[in-house]
Amino acid sequence: MVNRVLLVVIVVPLAIVLIALAVANRAPAAFTMDPFNPGNPGLTLQLPLFALLFLAFGFGLLLGSFATWWSQGRYRKEARNKTKEVQTLMQQASQRKPAQPQVSSTALPAPRG
């Protein structure tokens, strides 16, 4: 149910906006990677503006994902270390003999009833 609401409220309007953006910006735009000689045809890319915008969005998405993954590396390392520690402790516990229950010398109180 939540997935369907999320789809209708966020994804459908976003898709409509992106389709409108693509239709409105079909004219080719020049993207040059040489700021000192913008007319250099070897380093200039002619694509529709919406394609350049989508590529920039995708690049930003990948860059942000990588930055998040990189910053969370210490938590993944700590989780690996804790997992190894738990496995070691479980192995040590399974190798030990179970302790014999100790019988108390004190008498148990009589049950009420």
With CA atoms as reference, report the closest residue to 52 among 31, 33, 78, 79. 31
pTM: predicted TM-score of the whole model, two decimal places:
0.60
With contact defined as beta carbons under 8 Å apart, do 22 and 12 qualify?
Answer: no
pLDDT averaged over every residue in the chain: 86
Classified as helix, coil or strand, 33 is coil
Put residue 95 in one of left, alpha, beta given phi > 0 → left and psi -120 to 50 → alpha: alpha
- pLDDT grade for 35, boundaries at 50, 70 and 90: confident
Q: What is the pLDDT of residues 76-94, one digit of tens each?
A: 999 999 999 999 999 998 8
Neighbours of 45 (CB within 10 A): 14
The residue ranges of every structural domain in the chain are 14-89
